[in-house]
Chains A and B, each alone.
Chain A
Amino acid sequence: MRHHLVLRVVSKLLIPFIILYGLYVQFHGDFSPGGGFQAGVIVAAAIILYALIFGTERAKQVFKPQALMVLAPVGVMIFALVGYYAMAMGGAYLDYDWLAGDDTTGQHIGIITVEFGVGLTVTAVMTLIFLAYAGRTHEIDDDDW
């Protein structure tokens, strides 16, 4: 990839903004279209772009598959724990009204936290799927079947 100067420069320029846009989508999930899933895909797209230009090996040094494998279930657990917390506070499962003093603040806190969990999981899983496919080194032998 050393000779693809344009690709390297342009992608280096773009990647921070892609991630920033992902964060924007992430944190506006509670009062505008968007949220964790879309944000997760956007951030993962930035990581995948990096891996395409600079190689999966370098991408793996930054985004370690082992760490991503932990982040994916942790995101799901954040989502579920918000539900349990609301239940412990006396409401129904995922009833955000119980997360804070007044209902509106509770809804904001609930949605932001849940969307954060979703974003974490989606980023991790999208990246892992890409790395798993890109990391395949050999074709399946005929006698493997």
Chain B
Amino acid sequence: MSTLSAALPHLPILQVVVPLISAPICFLLQRAGLAWAFSTLVSWLAFATSVMLLRAVMADGTIHYEIGGWAAPWGIEYVIDAANAIVLVIVSGIGAAVSSYAPRSVLAEIPASQRGLYYTAYLLCLAGLLGVTITGDAFNVFVFLEITSLSSYVLVAAGAGLDRRALTAAYNYLVMGTVGATFFVIGVGLLYMVTGTLNIADLHERVPPLLDNRTVHVAFAFIVVGLGLKLALFPLHTWLPNAYTYAPSTGTAFLAATSTKVSVYVLLRFLFGVFAPTSGLMALTMDYVLLPLAVIGMMAATVAAIYQYNLKRLLAYSSVAQLGYMVLGFAYGSVDGLTAAVLHLFNHALMKGALFLALGCVMLRVGDVTMHGVRGLGRQMPWTMAAFVAGGLSLIGVPLTVGFISKWYLVGAALEDGRWWIAALILASSLLAVIYVWKVVEAAYLREPPAGRTVREAPLSMLVPTWILVLANIWFGVDAELTVSVARTAAMGLLGVAP
């Protein structure tokens, strides 16, 4: 108990360095079973840490931690407020669920020699994502973004054991991701050139008075486009469908539920926590670039999802559309819009996590996640398909699921600004989502299974984590008190509005 209380003030750094040092240890463990047990333990520890941090932040306000004892703005500091505390919880929570789920799926999908390395890459990715989220230093964001990206290329490429196209998907992701990260660091470099500081809080004081400065304009453009690539903002999303389709099931579930969300968070942090949200160029970008792209993305990607035959690709396109909702939320620039964006960030991670884990079960038993593969599975794998349907309902936004809460706040924020046509488009996009979810339901429940196929239900070790995420979808859909209050505090903090 005394060690625990001694560790408490160090929770912000432990959140990142525990997974970070676990990665080399996991590498040395070599054996897949050991590596899995170890990475799962670390994921749950990270989850516990993030929950404690969120509670501390909600009770006592922002936490600062100075690394190496060097005071900010000269040293690197970790800053945790409501906005990143909730992202930490969702990243580590999904990590804990996915790694608990992983052993059977990894055994089936990844060659024996690569399993230990796969868990190592997963831990690095987890450490990177947590680091990006927690840090209060703009350059540190870039460093962790690179750790995340490099390890996620490995996670995608690990699908090569099943389908060699994973390699081209990973390479494509690598090229696009590198362009994104380079643009981001160029932007940060330009900001440093103008202000002489890299601390985000310090930048927030120095950048807004300089908003007519040409260099700041260029920095803004580089950062928005760079992060747009990372978060797969339409039309910069082209790397995403292939990466999600060919990555191993566990990799897809983890990346889909966390990595783009963290990029959305970074964009939020830079738009509102560095640049001032109401100024000329910024307002123009919000209204005439981000908002239209978000709307087009949410419609176009939903339509694209309807025509997909491979279910992983279908969900990938649906992710692009859902990212559109998030960008839409913060493109309003209002407290309500930002609340909706943060809320949807959390909720969408729950939905996509549950859906991709359900597909992982299908992959294990049937080995085919196409419309053809799921035919008749409603009877053969009832629990798996029920989880998929529940996730799908949440994706559509049916009441009593988290999807409904997200849409409710998004539509509410749109109406508040008098943008009724956006509210109408959100509803239209939800109706289109019904079509692609229904196509899966129809194949799974109304079609006969292919003759001679006998499959059993997925093992409990995979069903339990899947259902935990499904139940989280319903829990936070019925009782949104907690998530909404955190999201609202986060939005107010980002906009600098007093509660």
A residues contacting B by CB (< 8 A) are 69-70, 72-74, 76-77, 80-81, 83-84, 87, 91-97, 144-145
Name the contact of A145 in the complex, choosing from B25, B68, B164 (C-beta under 8 A).
Answer: B164
B13 at the A interface (CB under 8 A): yes
Name the contact of A77 in the complex, choosing from B24, B65, B66, B67 (C-beta under 8 A).
Answer: B24
Contact A77 B21, beta carbon cutoff 8 Å? yes
Contact B25 A73, beta carbon cutoff 8 Å? yes
B221 at the A interface (CB under 8 A): no
B69 at the A interface (CB under 8 A): yes
List the A residue with the shortest CB-CB distance to B168: A145
Inter-chain CA distance A69–B116, complex, in Å, is: 13
With A93-B10, A93-B17 in contact, is A73–B68 under 8 Å at CB? Answer: no
B20 at the A interface (CB under 8 A): yes
B142 at the A interface (CB under 8 A): no
B309 at the A interface (CB under 8 A): no
B383 at the A interface (CB under 8 A): no
Closest-CB distance, B359 to chain A (whole angstroms): 25
Contact B68 A77, beta carbon cutoff 8 Å? no
Contact B67 A93, beta carbon cutoff 8 Å? yes
B415 at the A interface (CB under 8 A): no
Residue of B13, B23, B24 ringed by the most chain A CB atoms within 10 A:
B24
Closest-CB distance, A30 to chain B (whole angstroms): 14
Contact A80 B20, beta carbon cutoff 8 Å? yes
With A91-B69, A92-B69, A93-B10 in contact, is A83–B24 under 8 Å at CB? Answer: no
List the B residue with the shortest CB-CB distance to A69: B27
Closest-CB distance, B23 to chain A (whole angstroms): 8
With A70-B28, A73-B27, A73-B28 in contact, is A92–B20 under 8 Å at CB? Answer: no
Contacts of A84 in B (CB 8 A): 17, 21
Contact B65 A92, beta carbon cutoff 8 Å? yes
List the B residue with the shortest CB-CB distance to A90: B6
Inter-chain CA distance A97–B70, complex, in Å, is: 11
Contacts of B164 in A (CB 8 A): 144-145
Contact A93 B24, beta carbon cutoff 8 Å? no
Inter-chain CA distance A87–B68, complex, in Å, is: 9
Contact A93 B28, beta carbon cutoff 8 Å? no
List the A residue with the shortest CB-CB distance to B26: A73
Inter-chain CA distance A95–B13, complex, in Å, is: 12
User: Would you give 21 A-B contacts (Cβ < 8 Å), ordered by A?
Assistant: A72-B24, A73-B23, A73-B25, A73-B27, A76-B21, A76-B23, A77-B24, A80-B20, A80-B21, A81-B21, A83-B17, A84-B17, A91-B69, A92-B10, A92-B13, A92-B65, A92-B69, A93-B17, A93-B68, A94-B68, A96-B68
4 more contacts with CB within 8 A, not counting A73-B24, A84-B17, A91-B69, are A92-B68, A93-B67, A94-B67, A144-B164
Contact B69 A77, beta carbon cutoff 8 Å? no
Closest-CB distance, A96 to chain B (whole angstroms): 7
Closest-CB distance, A138 to chain B (whole angstroms): 16
Inter-chain CA distance A81–B10, complex, in Å, is: 15
Name the contact of B13 in the complex, choosing from A70, A81, A93, A144 (C-beta under 8 A).
Answer: A93
Name the contact of A95 in the complex, choosing from B21, B25, B28, B68 (C-beta under 8 A).
Answer: B68
Inter-chain CA distance A84–B18, complex, in Å, is: 10
Contact A87 B21, beta carbon cutoff 8 Å? no
Q: Mark B62-95, 1 if CB is under 8 A from A, else 0.
A: 0001111100000000000000000000000000
Contacts of B21 in A (CB 8 A): 76-77, 80-81, 84
Closest-CB distance, A52 to chain B (whole angstroms): 27
Inter-chain CA distance A70–B21, complex, in Å, is: 14
Contacts of A94 in B (CB 8 A): 67-68
List the A residue with the shortest CB-CB distance to B167: A145
Closest-CB distance, A15 to chain B (whole angstroms): 29
Residue of B10, B66, B67, B68 ringed by the most chain A CB atoms within 10 A:
B68
